[in-house]
Amino acid sequence: MSSSLERHPSRLARAFDRASSRLVPRGSRIVTGLTLVTVLVGVAIWQAPDFVPLVSLLVPLVVSSLVLGPRQLQWFVVFVLLVLAVVVPTQVVGPRIISAVVIMFAIGFILLVSSFRRARLGVAGMQGEMMFVDLRDRILRQGGIPELPDQWYAAAELRSAGGTPFAGDFVVATEVDGRLEVVVVDVSGKGQAAGTRALLLSGAIGGLLSALPPSDFLSAANTFLIRQDWDEGFATAVHLSLDLATGRYVLRTAGHPPAAALHAGSGRWEVVETEGPILGLIDDVVYDGVSGRMLPGDALLLYTDGMVETRTRDIGLGIDRMLGQAERLLRGEFEGGATRLIESLGSRNDDRALLLVHRR
């Protein structure tokens, strides 16, 4: 009688791979390979110093900084420097050899220092970068607008200070029971300094937005932030709950710039005044909403203060300028309007986020 592994060779192969990885961990195999390469390079330098330069040892040294974990990297750097010390006497010592040895020891010292810093994260250089890239991609996916009925158009745009991929502003959107639930958040700080807090907060915001009634969302987000006990633990937010069948909506803000609404009948933009304290400062807060209805041709703009505030311009003047640009850039064409607006407005030294919703 044949076993399940015999009937499924792929299972047998996977089982063999798992067993071999336990006997010889992947990290150990990499260290072994790099060690052999280093020994071979050292022997080549010893036997043929005129053809193999000392700097050849930089190849395994640089590769190790990319693929080895912090603890393995420390010992491997020491090993490479020992090999360097052994082969130096085979060289005709001169100013160029001395300079090369000094530079290589300096690079080794830099890698040792960086490995001590990486020990806090506990992963190799490339693995750590991939983790952050994955986290960044997750936060961007959360800001993706779900598929909407044909009569609705929505788009979100993000820009970070200095052009880095991580920002303190983010958008989270989801559809729940025929409602579009969107929140635009501005975490204290900007750029990479605020990016780590934004990564954590965006995950919590996404869960709360999907699980709670709209009236309870900002209060729950406020409680979550207070319990984090961060040194810079506050954030501002604007929350839109839009009924996709009727066009009725409720806007709530937490210390955030007010949303802007376009009324197709008059063709004019106006500010939707809402009030609420900043998230993360005061416990047990109830956030009141402002209701409205979007008719065909109407639009809503939700944005962060980076769109309207600069060091030399008051936020009120910035909002007026944004509405003027919106009237000019969105007239008769909302497709791609969020991109046009965010490129023409705001400070390049601050994070910016913008959400545009239009009822066709």
Task: Give the CA count within 13 Å in the CB-facing half-sphere of 288.
Answer: 4
The pLDDT, as a whole number, for residue 13 is: 42
Task: Examine the domain organization and report whether 186 and 285 are in the same domain.
Answer: yes
Is 345 inside any structural domain? Answer: yes
Is 14 inside any structural domain? Answer: no
The pLDDT, as a whole number, for residue 16 is: 34
Task: Examine the domain organization and report whether 224 and 193 are in the same domain.
Answer: yes
Is 70 inside any structural domain? Answer: yes
Is 219 inside any structural domain? Answer: yes
Task: Examine the domain organization and report whether 143 and 279 are in the same domain.
Answer: yes
**Residues forming beta bridges with residue 268, ordered by sequence position:** 263
Both tokens assigned to 201: 């907060």
Q: What is the pLDDT along the chain (360 residues), one digit of tens a residue?
A: 334 333 444 443 454 344 434 433 555 788 899 999 999 999 999 988 888 888 899 999 888 888 887 778 888 999 999 999 999 888 878 888 889 899 999 999 988 887 776 666 565 566 666 666 676 676 666 667 889 999 999 999 988 876 666 677 889 999 999 999 999 999 886 656 677 777 778 888 988 998 999 999 999 999 999 988 777 778 999 999 999 999 999 999 999 999 999 999 888 999 999 989 999 999 989 999 999 999 999 999 999 988 988 777 778 888 999 999 999 999 878 999 999 999 888 777 788 899 999 999
Is 11 inside any structural domain? Answer: no
Task: Examine the domain organization and report whether 246 and 322 are in the same domain.
Answer: yes
HEC string for the chain? CCCHHHHCHHHHHHHHHHHHHHHCCHHHHHHHHHHHHHHHHHHHHHHCCCCCCHHHHHHHHHHHHHHCCHHHHHHHHHHHHHHHHHHHHHCCCCHHHHHHHHHHHHHHHHHHHHHHHHCCCCCCHHHHHHHHHHHHHHHHHHCCCCCCCCCEEEEEEEECHHHCCCCCEEEEEEEECCEEEEEEEEECCCHHHHHHHHHHHHHHHHHHHHHCCHHHHHHHHHHHHHHHCCCCCCEEEEEEEEECCCCEEEEEEECCCCEEEEECCCCEEEEECCCCCCECCCCCCCCCCEEEECCCCCEEEEECHHHCCECCECHHHHHHHHHHHHHHHCCCCCCCHHHHHHHHCCCCCCCEEEEEEEEC
The pLDDT, as a whole number, for residue 24 is: 37
- Total domains in the chain come to 2
Task: Examine the domain organization and report whether 106 and 160 are in the same domain.
Answer: no
Residue 162: CB partners within 8 Å, gap ≥ 6?
191, 349
CA dihedral 342, 344, 350, 352 (to 10 degrees): -10
For position 187, which CATH number holds?
A: 3.60.40.10
Task: Examine the domain organization and report whether 79 and 137 are in the same domain.
Answer: no
Both tokens assigned to 194: 């605020």
Is 15 inside any structural domain? Answer: no
Task: Examine the domain organization and report whether 115 and 262 are in the same domain.
Answer: no
Task: Examine the domain organization and report whether 136 and 43 are in the same domain.
Answer: no
Task: Examine the domain organization and report whether 114 and 219 are in the same domain.
Answer: no
Q: Of 124, 142, 160, which closes a domain?
A: 124
Q: Of 95, 124, 153, which closes a domain?
A: 124
Task: Examine the domain organization and report whether 138 and 101 are in the same domain.
Answer: no
Is 63 inside any structural domain? Answer: yes
The pLDDT, as a whole number, for residue 28 is: 78
Task: Examine the domain organization and report whether 301 and 261 are in the same domain.
Answer: yes
Is 244 inside any structural domain? Answer: yes
Residue 62: give the domain boundaries: 23-124
Task: Examine the domain organization and report whether 72 and 174 are in the same domain.
Answer: no
Q: Alpha carbon 179 to chain centroid distance?
A: 27
Q: Of 124, 142, 168, which closes a domain?
A: 124
